[in-house]
Amino acid sequence: MTSVFGQVAVIACLVCGQNSSYQSYPSVPGVTRVGGQGAYIFRYEPNATGAWEPHAYNYMPQPGDLVFFDDHNKKWGVLYKLVGSGPPFHSGLFFALPDGTPAILESGPDDTMWVRIMPFPSRLQEFKGDVWVRQVKQPLTPEQNARLTDWALKQEHKRYALGRLLLQGTPIRCRNPLQQSLFGATYLDRSCWLCSELVVAGGTVAGLFDPRVHYANAIYPRDIIFDTKYDLSHVFHEARYFSASPDRLPPGKIPR
């Protein structure tokens, strides 16, 4: 019991201690060319010698794209290590506003306590850290897109699920195998959300996640940026590094 309360105390302390010349590129399937807006993703491709090197492409998000944030915060690193996970430490979901403008739905952006709709591309351009994107392989249908937009707008201004965050430091968290088998679920209407829980719920609304397999209350960002825990390769491309400049190269081929 001492270790359990110790983990909760550490998590509580961590939460309280947080602060909150242009060149055109070839088109790539699934990416709309938007010249000069300061939004690029990198794909690794073989050069003449066969070595893999990053190439920048203009990025225009599609509804359903997943976005991951890693601010390299050591305190969050400790927290996620305690619960058997790791970076990235935050996630969001792209959707289309009623006028078609892309936006990002997030719970607790920059360590705040609310669900917010964040603007693109400034949200990604101004983030202090690394940003990775997993693009949907197939665009949403008009019906899927409408469902996601309607659902996303209803989530704004809900609270961040601080209580459930604290529970992650205890044995009763849903991520544990026994608890997951008993209580794992994807709820589509909650009064408060964890970041990845919100992302998976929204993706479920859009038909991108299977609620019989992907339990939103048992998933962390790292579980859906890689295909190790859940193979999402049939729905999403691999994670690609986002940058506001084609000259800012990825720190590596894959997220850390």
pLDDT of 5 reads 35
Answer positive or negative: Cα dihedral of 36, 68, 65, 56.
Answer: positive
Residue with tokens 């088109």: 27
| Cis bond upstream, residue 88 (ω within 30) | yes
Tokens encoding 42: 């990198």
| 6 to 49, 77, 161, 239: CA distances (angstroms) | 53, 16, 20, 34
pLDDT of the chain along its 256 residues, tens only? Answer: 334 434 444 344 434 444 432 233 333 333 334 434 799 999 999 999 999 999 999 999 999 999 999 999 999 899 888 888 999 999 999 999 999 999 999 999 999 999 999 999 999 999 999 999 999 999 999 999 999 999 999 999 999 999 988 888 888 788 778 788 888 999 999 999 999 999 999 999 999 999 999 999 999 999 999 999 999 999 999 999 999 999 999 999 999 8
Least Cα distance to 11 among 160, 130, 164 occurs for 164
What is the distance between the alpha carbons of residues 122 and 250, in angstroms, rounded to a whole number? 19
Q: Which helix (H) or strand (E) holds 116?
A: strand 115-119
Bridge partners of 193, per DSSP, are: 160
pLDDT of 99 reads 96
Identify whether the C-beta of residue 161 lies closer than 8 Å to the C-beta of residue 197: yes
Task: Tell me the whole-structure pTM to 2 decimals.
Answer: 0.85
Tokens encoding 85: 């996970």
What is the distance between the alpha carbons of residues 183 and 169, in angstroms, rounded to a whole number? 17
Which one-letter amino acid corresponds to residue 8? V
**Beta carbons within 10 angstroms of residue 134's beta carbon:** 23
pLDDT of 179 reads 83
Q: Which domains, ranges and CATH numbers included, belong to the chain?
A: 2-18+58-243 (3.90.1720.10)
Which one-letter amino acid corresponds to residue 23? Q
Q: Give the max Cα distance, the chain.
A: 59
